[in-house]
Amino acid sequence: KLPGSAKPLVGPALETVFEELGKIQNSKERAAKLFQWFISPISAKKFFSEIWEKKPALIRRHNPDYYKGLFSTAEFDRILRDNDVQYGVNLDVTSYSNGERETHNPPGRALPFNVWDFYKNGCSLRMLNPQAFSVTVWNVLSILQEQFGSMAGANVYLTPADTQGFAPHYDDIEAFVVQLEGKKHWRVYNPRTKEEVLPQVSSPNFSQDEIGEPILEVVLEAGDLLYFPRGFIHQGDCLSDTHSLHITISSFQKNSWGDLLDKLLPAALQIAIEEDVEFRQGLPLDYLSYMGVQNSEKDDPRRTDFTEKLQGLIKKLAKFAPVDAAVDQKAKDFLHDCLPPVLTEEEKATSVFGVPTRWEDGDARDVAVQINGKTKIRLLRKCVARLCSEGEAVILYHTVENSRVYHKEEPKFFEVDSEHTDSVEFLIHSYPTYVTVESLPCEIPDDKISIAELLFEKGLLLTKNPLPSS
């Protein structure tokens, strides 16, 4: 059991955290540091070995300002005012009362005039993709996705005092409930069966008599964190004296070994069939007469032979499994799921967004600024791009043109010419170290410049120093 001491747990403010993150060159390290701040004082090492995917964890901080700046009700109000927030798409209005869960979304845009009226009438508000409206949430999630190697998402929940917005249920994601304002009374329950441990899909709403006794009951206060794995049933309701605002950060949806096998098995079978004649040999002439459900109660030794033959072939499949290619399929999905990176000012200054090329005084200026052999370059992020093979072609998938709205853009990629492939791989493996353009492993010097320019133009590269104006 985790301790709930009365001494406030202090930590750097979010603003300071971001400042420090900006100094870290390696985006993986940034991600680790940000995640550590989220779960402090538990160490990430301990968290991932003892808690992650295993059991709920509660971190009480007695420090209502710990997550300050991440999100607030004032920000919620501002977003409604300034953005085209659509009911049902970006915002849900819900209630849970007398065991009945209802959704009250009208059609069209959600404006404060309506939204706060619903709230005053006891409805809960769920903002479905705050990362599309809040740069801070976007930034946090785009960093954390590198920690998880899996998409990081978020919902914001605002609940009036003395109400509950949702019925008990479990989700298909790892959940980090970050209490931002007010308080919320939470109850967390064990998965009900072996099959509901780490489930692949979320549950329907449960009634109170289907879920047993909670294993954790707590009043979460601003600054506290509650984690629970997928499959743990949970419900939260507000006390009579205060509202609640929390953001739930989630990850690891469809990111199991089974999901990878789903990519891997068809490819493995394809290869096995191509390479091993045993997979291509015909089925026994008469197998339909002793196999199949209608024969399943027959006591026929051929049934055993047939089943064992198939099981043997399945086991043999293992050696044909194209593991790296299947991982690349998952990686491509991950890069499509990813939020685009948020650049720091320093990063902007040394990327394509910071080049002095501009219109000024009636003319295009500093167009001649060029990358040359001495220019030192690196990728923008560890996970900003990935090299995959597709048939004969080598494709670079990347995240820089993704949308802040989930899958609003198609996967972004371009083919890498064969003379550039080694250089791109070199850049990937050199990360986070800067290398000179002339050190790229292209045979022809001009190719070094051209692949560097291409990646720079796409926004995938940083230069060590800003490109000078002429």
Of 249, 245, 79, the closest CA to residue 165 belongs to 245
User: Out of 37, 306, 406, 434, which residue is the one contacting a copy of itself (CB under 8 A)?
Assistant: 306
User: Out of 3, 113, 207, 345, which residue is the one contacting a copy of itself (CB under 8 A)?
Assistant: 113
In the structure encoding, which two tokens stand for residue 195, read together? Answer: 């099959």
Phi–psi pair at 329, nearest 5 degrees: -60, -45
Q: Does 323 bind a copy of itself (CB under 8 A)?
A: yes
User: Out of 13, 51, 219, 428, which residue is the one contacting a copy of itself (CB under 8 A)?
Assistant: 428
Q: Does 311 bind a copy of itself (CB under 8 A)?
A: yes
Phi–psi pair at 226, nearest 5 degrees: -125, 125
- Stretch near a copy of itself under the rule CB under 8 A, chosen from 1-9, 63-71, 74-82, 432-440: 74-82
Of 162, 62, 152, 203, the closest CA to residue 399 belongs to 152
Minimal distance, residue 281 CB to a copy of itself, in Å: 6
User: Out of 208, 307, 418, 433, which residue is the one contacting a copy of itself (CB under 8 A)?
Assistant: 307
Sheet-wide strand order for 435-436: 435-436, 376-379, 461-463
Q: Does 117 bind a copy of itself (CB under 8 A)?
A: yes
Q: Does 104 bind a copy of itself (CB under 8 A)?
A: no
Minimal distance, residue 260 CB to a copy of itself, in Å: 6
First to last CA, the chain: 63
In the structure encoding, which two tokens stand for residue 240, read together? Answer: 């009579």
For 420-456, b where at least 16 C-beta lie within 10 A, e where not — what string? bbebbeebbeebbebbebeebebeeeebbbbbbbbbb
For a copy of itself, the closer CB: 182 or 235:
182
In the structure encoding, which two tokens stand for residue 437, read together? Answer: 């353009």
- Stretch near a copy of itself under the rule CB under 8 A, chosen from 3-11, 96-104, 216-224, 350-358: 350-358
Q: Does 441 bind a copy of itself (CB under 8 A)?
A: no
Q: CA-CA distance, 114 to 82, in Å (whole number)?
A: 15
**C-alpha atoms less than 13 angstroms from C-alpha of 340 in its C-beta half-sphere:** 20
For a copy of itself, the closer CB: 259 or 419:
259
- Stretch near a copy of itself under the rule CB under 8 A, chosen from 8-16, 59-67, 129-137, 353-361: 353-361
For a copy of itself, the closer CB: 13 or 161:
161
Window 185-244: residues binding a copy of itself (CB under 8 A): 194-195, 197-200, 242-243
Contact 111, 137 (CB under 8 A): no
Window 394-423: residues binding a copy of itself (CB under 8 A): 401, 412, 414
User: Out of 1, 7, 315, 408, which residue is the one contacting a copy of itself (CB under 8 A)?
Assistant: 315
Q: Does 365 bind a copy of itself (CB under 8 A)?
A: yes
Write down how long the chain is: 470
Minimal distance, residue 416 CB to a copy of itself, in Å: 11
- Identity of the residue numbered 455: L
For a copy of itself, the closer CB: 61 or 243:
243
Phi–psi pair at 369, nearest 5 degrees: -55, 130
Minimal distance, residue 465 CB to a copy of itself, in Å: 16
- Stretch near a copy of itself under the rule CB under 8 A, chosen from 111-119, 136-144, 163-171, 435-443: 111-119
Q: Does 45 bind a copy of itself (CB under 8 A)?
A: no
For a copy of itself, the closer CB: 126 or 412:
412
Minimal distance, residue 264 CB to a copy of itself, in Å: 7
Q: CA-CA distance, 441 to 454, in Å (whole number)?
A: 16
Q: Which helix (H) or strand (E) holds 125?
A: strand 124-127
Window 156-185: residues binding a copy of itself (CB under 8 A): 174, 181-182
Q: Does 130 bind a copy of itself (CB under 8 A)?
A: no
Of 149, 151, 227, 144, the closest CA to residue 188 belongs to 227
- Stretch near a copy of itself under the rule CB under 8 A, chosen from 72-80, 130-138, 208-216, 220-228: 72-80
Q: Which helix (H) or strand (E) holds 64?
A: none
In the structure encoding, which two tokens stand for residue 315, read together? Answer: 């086991």
Contact 348, 342 (CB under 8 A): no
Of 160, 152, 178, the closest CA to residue 68 belongs to 178
In the structure encoding, which two tokens stand for residue 142, read together? Answer: 């785009």
Q: Does 363 bind a copy of itself (CB under 8 A)?
A: yes
In the structure encoding, which two tokens stand for residue 312, read together? Answer: 């043997």
Minimal distance, residue 160 CB to a copy of itself, in Å: 8
Q: Does 383 bind a copy of itself (CB under 8 A)?
A: yes
